[in-house]
Homo-oligomer: A and B are copies of this chain.
Protein backbone atom coordinates (compact mmCIF):
# COMPACT_ATOMS: atom_id res chain seq x y z
CA UNK A 1 0.00 0.00 0.00
CA UNK A 2 1.18 3.50 -0.71
CA UNK A 3 0.38 6.68 1.12
CA UNK A 4 -2.82 8.22 -0.18
CA UNK A 5 -2.07 11.52 -1.84
CA UNK A 6 -3.89 14.64 -0.73
CA UNK A 7 -7.00 15.35 -2.79
CA UNK A 8 -6.09 17.22 -5.97
CA UNK A 9 -8.65 19.86 -5.20
CA UNK A 10 -7.88 22.96 -7.21
CA UNK A 11 -8.89 25.75 -4.91
CA UNK A 12 -8.38 24.26 -1.46
CA UNK A 13 -4.76 23.23 -1.46
CA UNK A 14 -4.28 23.75 2.26
CA UNK A 15 -4.54 21.48 5.30
CA UNK A 16 -2.12 19.01 6.78
CA UNK A 17 -3.01 16.45 4.12
CA UNK A 18 -0.49 13.92 5.26
CA UNK A 19 -1.25 10.90 7.28
CA UNK A 20 1.27 8.15 7.81
CA UNK A 21 0.54 4.70 6.48
CA UNK A 22 -0.02 3.17 9.88
CA UNK A 23 -2.70 5.76 10.59
CA UNK A 24 -4.52 4.73 7.45
CA UNK A 25 -4.23 1.08 8.47
CA UNK A 26 -5.53 2.01 11.88
CA UNK A 27 -8.52 3.72 10.30
CA UNK A 28 -9.25 0.65 8.18
CA UNK A 29 -9.02 -1.59 11.19
CA UNK A 30 -11.28 0.70 13.19
CA UNK A 31 -13.86 0.28 10.43
CA UNK A 32 -13.58 -3.49 10.66
CA UNK A 33 -14.31 -3.17 14.37
CA UNK A 34 -17.14 -0.72 13.87
CA UNK A 35 -18.80 -2.85 11.20
CA UNK A 36 -18.48 -5.92 13.39
CA UNK A 37 -16.30 -7.78 10.91
CA UNK A 38 -14.34 -8.53 14.07
CA UNK A 39 -16.55 -9.06 17.09
CA UNK A 40 -15.87 -8.41 20.77
CA UNK A 41 -13.95 -11.24 22.36
CA UNK A 42 -12.82 -12.71 19.06
CA UNK A 43 -9.29 -12.79 17.70
CA UNK A 44 -8.45 -10.57 14.76
CA UNK A 45 -6.18 -11.87 11.98
CA UNK A 46 -2.52 -12.26 12.83
CA UNK A 47 -0.09 -9.43 12.17
CA UNK A 48 1.36 -11.32 9.22
CA UNK A 49 -2.05 -11.85 7.67
CA UNK A 50 -2.94 -8.20 8.10
CA UNK A 51 0.39 -7.14 6.65
CA UNK A 52 -0.37 -9.28 3.59
CA UNK A 53 -3.92 -8.00 3.31
CA UNK A 54 -2.87 -4.35 3.43
CA UNK A 55 0.34 -4.93 1.44
CA UNK A 56 2.42 -3.45 4.21
CA UNK A 57 5.23 -4.61 6.45
CA UNK A 58 4.54 -6.28 9.77
CA UNK A 59 6.06 -3.32 11.60
CA UNK A 60 3.52 -0.93 10.13
CA UNK A 61 0.63 -3.15 11.16
CA UNK A 62 2.16 -3.42 14.60
CA UNK A 63 2.20 0.32 15.05
CA UNK A 64 -1.47 0.54 14.08
CA UNK A 65 -2.36 -2.24 16.52
CA UNK A 66 -0.23 -0.60 19.20
CA UNK A 67 -2.38 2.50 19.08
CA UNK A 68 -5.65 0.59 19.01
CA UNK A 69 -4.48 -1.41 22.01
CA UNK A 70 -3.51 1.80 23.80
CA UNK A 71 -7.07 3.03 23.23
CA UNK A 72 -8.46 -0.18 24.72
CA UNK A 73 -10.08 -1.27 21.46
CA UNK A 74 -7.81 -4.30 21.11
CA UNK A 75 -6.03 -6.52 23.59
CA UNK A 76 -2.76 -8.24 22.74
CA UNK A 77 -1.95 -11.62 24.21
CA UNK A 78 1.51 -12.89 23.47
CA UNK A 79 1.55 -16.33 21.93
CA UNK A 80 -2.23 -16.32 21.39
CA UNK A 81 -3.17 -13.42 19.20
CA UNK A 82 -4.81 -10.02 19.25
CA UNK A 83 -8.40 -9.82 20.46
CA UNK A 84 -11.22 -7.35 20.27
CA UNK A 85 -11.75 -5.84 23.70
CA UNK A 86 -15.04 -6.63 25.40
CA UNK A 87 -16.99 -5.44 28.40
CA UNK A 88 -18.62 -8.84 28.69
CA UNK A 89 -15.64 -10.49 30.33
CA UNK A 90 -13.74 -7.76 32.03
CA UNK A 91 -15.03 -8.04 35.55
CA UNK A 92 -12.92 -4.95 35.96
CA UNK A 93 -15.63 -2.95 37.62
CA UNK A 94 -13.23 -0.06 37.96
CA UNK A 95 -12.65 1.11 34.41
CA UNK A 96 -15.86 3.09 34.31
CA UNK A 97 -17.17 2.90 37.87
CA UNK A 98 -14.29 4.33 39.82
CA UNK A 99 -15.78 3.97 43.26
CA UNK A 100 -13.63 2.19 45.82
CA UNK A 101 -14.56 1.09 49.31
CA UNK A 102 -12.50 2.69 52.08
CA UNK A 103 -11.85 -0.78 53.39
CA UNK A 104 -10.20 -1.85 50.15
CA UNK A 105 -12.30 -5.02 50.00
CA UNK A 106 -13.52 -5.41 46.46
CA UNK A 107 -16.52 -7.17 44.97
CA UNK A 108 -19.94 -7.69 46.51
CA UNK A 109 -21.73 -5.06 44.41
CA UNK A 110 -25.41 -5.89 43.92
CA UNK A 111 -27.93 -4.17 41.66
CA UNK A 112 -31.54 -3.26 42.21
CA UNK A 113 -33.63 -1.99 39.33
CA UNK A 114 -35.94 0.88 40.26
CA UNK A 115 -37.65 1.34 36.93
CA UNK A 116 -37.17 1.25 33.17
CA UNK A 117 -39.48 3.34 31.05
CA UNK A 118 -39.79 4.93 27.65
CA UNK A 119 -40.25 8.68 27.41
CA UNK A 120 -39.38 11.73 25.33
CA UNK A 121 -35.95 13.23 25.74
CA UNK A 122 -35.81 16.42 27.78
CA UNK A 123 -33.97 19.22 26.00
CA UNK A 124 -30.79 18.76 27.99
CA UNK A 125 -30.65 15.02 27.41
CA UNK A 126 -31.40 15.43 23.72
CA UNK A 127 -28.59 17.93 23.33
CA UNK A 128 -26.04 15.69 25.06
CA UNK A 129 -27.03 12.62 23.03
CA UNK A 130 -27.26 14.52 19.75
CA UNK A 131 -30.95 13.76 19.40
CA UNK A 132 -33.85 15.93 18.40
CA UNK A 133 -35.81 17.32 21.32
CA UNK A 134 -38.47 14.84 22.46
CA UNK A 135 -37.00 11.96 20.50
CA UNK A 136 -37.83 8.70 22.27
CA UNK A 137 -35.39 7.58 24.93
CA UNK A 138 -35.22 4.81 27.49
CA UNK A 139 -34.71 5.83 31.07
CA UNK A 140 -33.32 3.38 33.59
CA UNK A 141 -32.94 3.98 37.27
CA UNK A 142 -31.23 1.64 39.66
CA UNK A 143 -29.38 1.40 42.93
CA UNK A 144 -26.04 -0.29 43.50
CA UNK A 145 -25.33 -1.66 46.96
CA UNK A 146 -22.10 -2.76 48.53
CA UNK A 147 -22.54 -5.51 51.09
CA UNK A 148 -26.14 -4.52 51.62
CA UNK A 149 -25.77 -0.76 52.01
CA UNK A 150 -26.86 1.36 49.04
CA UNK A 151 -24.04 3.42 47.55
CA UNK A 152 -24.98 4.53 44.04
CA UNK A 153 -28.22 5.82 42.56
CA UNK A 154 -28.01 5.80 38.76
CA UNK A 155 -30.31 7.63 36.35
CA UNK A 156 -29.53 6.45 32.83
CA UNK A 157 -30.74 7.79 29.46
CA UNK A 158 -30.43 5.79 26.26
CA UNK A 159 -31.60 6.55 22.71
CA UNK A 160 -34.51 4.18 21.96
CA UNK A 161 -33.38 3.86 18.36
CA UNK A 162 -30.21 2.05 19.43
CA UNK A 163 -31.66 -0.07 22.21
CA UNK A 164 -34.86 -1.45 20.72
CA UNK A 165 -36.34 -4.15 22.87
CA UNK A 166 -34.58 -3.20 26.07
CA UNK A 167 -36.93 -3.93 28.94
CA UNK A 168 -36.83 -4.02 32.70
CA UNK A 169 -37.09 -7.80 32.57
CA UNK A 170 -33.99 -8.17 30.45
CA UNK A 171 -32.12 -5.74 32.66
CA UNK A 172 -33.16 -7.55 35.79
CA UNK A 173 -32.23 -10.93 34.33
CA UNK A 174 -28.80 -9.96 33.04
CA UNK A 175 -25.74 -10.82 35.11
CA UNK A 176 -22.57 -8.84 34.56
CA UNK A 177 -21.77 -5.27 33.66
CA UNK A 178 -24.40 -3.16 31.91
CA UNK A 179 -21.97 -2.30 29.14
CA UNK A 180 -21.56 -6.01 28.51
CA UNK A 181 -25.29 -6.31 27.85
CA UNK A 182 -25.27 -3.29 25.55
CA UNK A 183 -22.44 -4.86 23.60
CA UNK A 184 -23.73 -8.41 23.24
CA UNK A 185 -27.45 -7.64 22.91
CA UNK A 186 -27.45 -4.37 21.01
CA UNK A 187 -24.07 -4.19 19.32
CA UNK A 188 -23.29 -0.91 21.02
CA UNK A 189 -19.79 -0.81 22.42
CA UNK A 190 -18.74 1.93 24.84
CA UNK A 191 -15.29 3.22 23.97
CA UNK A 192 -14.73 6.19 26.21
CA UNK A 193 -16.61 8.59 28.43
CA UNK A 194 -16.43 12.06 29.92
CA UNK A 195 -17.48 12.72 33.47
CA UNK A 196 -18.41 15.95 35.22
CA UNK A 197 -18.30 15.65 38.98
CA UNK A 198 -19.95 17.91 41.49
CA UNK A 199 -20.91 17.87 45.15
CA UNK A 200 -24.63 18.15 45.80
CA UNK A 201 -27.06 17.78 48.70
CA UNK A 202 -29.33 14.75 48.82
CA UNK A 203 -32.94 15.46 47.78
CA UNK A 204 -35.94 13.55 49.06
CA UNK A 205 -35.84 10.76 46.49
CA UNK A 206 -32.10 10.17 46.52
CA UNK A 207 -31.91 10.43 50.30
CA UNK A 208 -34.49 7.70 50.67
CA UNK A 209 -32.97 5.40 48.08
CA UNK A 210 -29.52 5.77 49.56
CA UNK A 211 -30.77 5.62 53.15
CA UNK A 212 -29.23 8.97 54.04
CA UNK A 213 -30.57 12.07 55.78
CA UNK A 214 -31.96 14.89 53.66
CA UNK A 215 -29.20 17.25 52.57
CA UNK A 216 -26.40 14.74 53.01
CA UNK A 217 -23.51 15.57 50.66
CA UNK A 218 -23.36 13.35 47.58
CA UNK A 219 -21.10 13.06 44.59
CA UNK A 220 -22.97 13.87 41.40
CA UNK A 221 -21.28 12.11 38.50
CA UNK A 222 -22.62 13.01 35.07
CA UNK A 223 -21.26 10.70 32.44
CA UNK A 224 -21.53 10.91 28.68
CA UNK A 225 -20.41 7.68 27.01
CA UNK A 226 -19.26 7.45 23.42
CA UNK A 227 -19.01 4.63 20.92
CA UNK A 228 -16.99 4.51 17.70
CA UNK A 229 -16.61 7.84 16.01
CA UNK A 230 -17.15 9.67 19.30
CA UNK A 231 -20.88 9.21 18.90
CA UNK A 232 -22.62 9.76 22.25
CA UNK A 233 -24.89 6.84 23.17
CA UNK A 234 -25.51 7.10 26.88
CA UNK A 235 -26.06 9.86 29.38
CA UNK A 236 -25.92 8.86 33.00
CA UNK A 237 -26.28 10.75 36.20
CA UNK A 238 -25.01 8.90 39.22
CA UNK A 239 -25.31 9.99 42.82
CA UNK A 240 -22.58 8.40 44.91
CA UNK A 241 -22.63 8.18 48.67
CA UNK A 242 -19.07 8.74 49.82
CA UNK A 243 -19.58 7.90 53.47
CA UNK A 244 -17.52 4.73 53.15
CA UNK A 245 -16.40 4.89 49.53
CA UNK A 246 -14.37 7.29 47.46
CA UNK A 247 -14.02 8.12 43.79
CA UNK A 248 -10.51 7.30 42.73
CA UNK A 249 -8.59 9.05 40.02
CA UNK A 250 -5.01 8.71 38.85
CA UNK A 251 -3.31 11.76 37.41
CA UNK A 252 -0.34 11.26 35.21
Contacts and interface: CB of A to CB of B under 8 A. Distances in A.
A249 B252 CA distance: 12
Contact of A200 (B98, B199, B248, B251): B199
A186 interface: no
Contact of A251 (B100, B192, B215, B217): B192
A219 interface: yes
B196 A252 contact: no
Contact of A218 (B71, B217, B249): B217
B72 A196 contact: no
A188 to B, nearest CB: 16
Contacts of A115: none
A123 interface: no
Nearest to A59: B59
B246 A192 contact: no
Contacts of A246: 196-198
Contacts of A96: 251
Given A215-B215, A218-B217, A196 B71 contact: no
Nearest to A66: B66
A223 B192 CA distance: 24
Interface residues of A, number: 31
Among A72, A194, A247, find the residue whose CB has the most chain B CB atoms closer than 10 A: A247
Given A215-B215, A217-B217, A198 B251 contact: no
A46 to B, nearest CB: 21
A69 interface: no
A195 interface: yes
A178 B198 CA distance: 24
A195 B249 contact: yes
A192 B72 contact: no
A146 to B, nearest CB: 15
B196 A248 contact: yes
Contacts of A95: 251
Interface of A: 71-72, 95-96, 98, 100, 191-201, 215, 217-219, 223, 240, 242, 246-252
